[in-house]
Structure 1
Amino acid sequence: MKLYTAKLAPNPRRVQLFLAEKGIRDIEVVLLDFGKQEHARSPVCEVAPTPQLPVLELDDGRRLSESRAICSYLESRHPEPNLFGRDGEERAFIEMADRQAEFFLLVHAMNAVRHSHPGFASIEQPQLADFGRTQIDKLRRSAAWYETLLGKQAYVAGDRFTAADITAFCALEFVRGLLKFVPANEGFANLQAYRDRIAERPSAKA
């Protein structure tokens, strides 16, 4: 199998962190350059209405896109360590937490960066500065909710690390690196401590 991915982008990073947490090393990783629009010219990435990454190419030639779908497929092949839930009930709560992290952290983070950062002006056309600012504001409101949640539990889905934490962490790292959005500077001490704890995991360092 081959994983077509890119550096820094949050959705590709979700899959790469998932691979690292699982200890999966038998998948060839092919890096494409988002800045040079290599994904837009690659037929491998034509798996949706617009070219996208990551894409997992299976041994039979089929191509699987969407980060969560790729991770779900990998979990079925490598069930341990478990990241999606040990039974139906836990899976439901982890899926809820993962979708919340995706919609309320990752989507706002991606929109904020794509519409606010000058480095994305050639990629996001038209780049809408006002929209970017609204997304940063929505990200702050979501971060405040997570600040409260993480004052009650260690991880976003409960008491253990799961795929939902990968999504949340990648969202936080994306805006930290490109928009200098640091939870501690926004008054979110619990969220900062959570981010720092995830950053110390071997998968995050890798």
Structure 2
Amino acid sequence: MHLYTYDPAPNPRRLTLFLAYKGIELETTQIDLMKGEQLGESFRAINPAGTVPALVLDGGTVMTEVIGICDYLEALHPEKPLFGDGPLARAQVLSWDHHLFLSVFMAIAETLRNGTPAFEDRALPGPFKVTQIPALCERGRSRLAQSWPALDRTLAGRDFLVGNSVTLADIDLLVAMEFAGWIKESVPESCAHLHSWQARTREALGITG
């Protein structure tokens, strides 16, 4: 298998933390998004959508969605499970991933891509021209502001989002909190449960610094 990625970006970061926790090592090539390498002919021959990460399997199949890649690797490497313990926990992890993508990641992404000059005509990922809509920046920040207190209430009395150990859902929320810094947003200090969870999750994943 060969992984094409760009470590600083949020979606690759999700996969990086997953791999590190489980101790999975993959041959890797960095695709520099700041230089537009994802839109170059050589990479689009691998992934026509021009997005990272992209995992090329030994048989030639290309996987381009983090949730699918993680699910596949979880099946190959069940040690230190990150999809919970049993069918219900797995369903809960997947549900949280979907919820976080829609309510947090998308709120940040629409703010970033519609209000940053570097993303002119690239308001959505991929190779196609998509015009920015500045009004979506305000909506994105508003959505994000509503998400933090809701997550804080959810984490009251819980160590992690699903069950008693860290899962991919926790990785995704942790990365979302980091991603918020890209638009100069952060979790309010009043969200004490969320901040405690963040420290606990970083420790569980072995993140230092």
Same fold (TM over 0.5): yes
Amino acid at match of 1:13: R
Equivalence for 1:90? 89
Equivalence for 2:14? 14
2:108 touches 2:183 (CA, 8 Å); kept in 1?
Answer: no
Equivalence for 2:24? 24
Select 1:173's aligned residue among 158, 174, 178.
178
Q: 1:157 & 1:121 partners in 2: Cα distance? A: 38
Q: Would you say 1:195 and 2:195 are equivalent positions?
A: no
- 1:45-66 Cα deviation digits (max 9, x unpaired): 21xxx32111001112211110
Q: 1:160 & 1:22 partners in 2: Cα distance? A: 14
Amino acid at match of 1:99: H
* Greater alpha carbon shift after TM alignment, 130-139 vs 149-158: 149-158
Q: Would you say 1:127 and 2:126 are equivalent positions?
A: no
1:17 touches 1:203 (CA, 8 Å); kept in 2?
Answer: no
- Call closer, same or farther: CA 1:180–1:111 in 2, change over 3 Å: same
For residues 43-122 of structure 1, the aligned pairs below 5 Å read 43-46=45-48, 50-121=49-120
Deviation (angstroms), 1:130 = 1.5
1:115 touches 1:128 (CA, 8 Å); kept in 2?
Answer: yes
SS at match of 1:148: helix
Q: How many residue pairs were aligned?
A: 200
Deviation (angstroms), 1:40 = 1.3
- TM-score, normalised via structure 1 length: 0.88
Equivalence for 1:4? 4
Deviation (angstroms), 1:192 = 2.2
Which sections of structure 1, spanning at least 5 residues, go unmatched? none
Which sections of structure 2, spanning at least 5 residues, go unmatched? 124-129
Deviation (angstroms), 1:98 = 1.8
2:7 touches 2:16 (CA, 8 Å); kept in 1?
Answer: no
Amino acid at match of 1:195: Q
Deviation (angstroms), 1:81 = 0.4
SS at match of 2:63: strand
Equivalence for 1:143? 148
2:152 touches 2:194 (CA, 8 Å); kept in 1?
Answer: yes
- 1:8-50 Cα deviation digits (max 9, x unpaired): 211111111110010012x11111111221111112121xxx3
Deviation (angstroms), 1:157 = 2.1
- 1:80-99 Cα deviation digits (max 9, x unpaired): 10111222122112221222
- 1:66-121 Cα deviation digits (max 9, x unpaired): 00000001001100101112221221122212221222112212222222344434
Q: 1:60 & 1:11 partners in 2: Cα distance? A: 24
